[in-house]
Structure 1
Amino acid sequence: MPESRRRKAAVQKKRAQRELEIEKNREPQSSPRWWAPLMVGLMVLGLIVVVTAYVTGGNWPIPFENGNYNLFVGFGVMIVGFLMTLGWK
């Protein structure tokens, strides 16, 4: 036998209240403790690689034939650090 509209509304209201209570009791999710230090560390490490490559003319920290690859490596490390900020809670 089909349920009346009033009964459906009451059941849906109770269900919504239960879901709201569950949502309130749930602990907020946060990032692991190592996330922020690693994120900042990668950004600083990338900055150090880029600055070192500029100061040494691209011959150090990684000796490539073309010194511009050190800049790519440094910016790549920094970009990974910045992308990690998207997942930080």
Structure 2
Amino acid sequence: MTVPKSRSDRKKKAVYTPPPTAAKPKISPRWLAPAMVTFGLLGILWIGVYYIAGGLIPFMRDLGNWNLAIGFSGLVIAMILSTRWR
């Protein structure tokens, strides 16, 4: 007399093996981190100097509120560069 096989023995699932990946991990360029930090610091310093001594520095006095645009554009560039950092 033979014993019937169970259903789990009949339908064995194949073990999942992920496809091979030959792609190298992405690495940031060497210039990215220093440029990101430099633009961020220059933006903060520009805004800080404008608020502290903007009336005393002739070219900053002539620019007026455009100094804020210059400072914030440095910060925006630093944020854009930070999205490319791996």
Bin the TM-score by the shorter chain.
0.5 to 0.7
Larger radius of gyration: 2
Residue 18 of structure 2 corresponds to residue 28 of structure 1? no
SS in 2 for 1:29: coil
Count residues with an aligned counterpart: 70
Counterpart residue identity of residue 52, structure 2: V
In structure 2, distance between residues paired with 1:81 and 1:39:
5
Q: 2-side partners of 1:85 and 1:58: how far apart?
A: 33
Q: Which residue of 1 aligns with 2:3?
A: none
1:50·1:71 contact (CA, 8 Å) conserved in 2? yes
Gaps of 5+ in 1: 1-16
Deviations 1:17-68 (A, max 9, x none): 7x922x1x32201110110111011000100000000011355484353521
The whole-number CA distance in structure 2 between the counterparts of 1:59 and 1:65 is 11
**TM-score if structure 1 supplies the norm length?**
0.65
Q: TM-score by structure 2 length?
A: 0.67
Gaps of 5+ in 2: 1-16
Aligned with 1:77 (options 71, 74, 77):
74
Tell me which of 51, 54, 58 is aligned to 2:51.
54
* 8 Å Cα contact 1:45-1:74 kept in structure 2: yes
CA RMSD of aligned residues (A): 2.3
- What is aligned with 2:10? none
Percentage identity across aligned positions?
A: 31
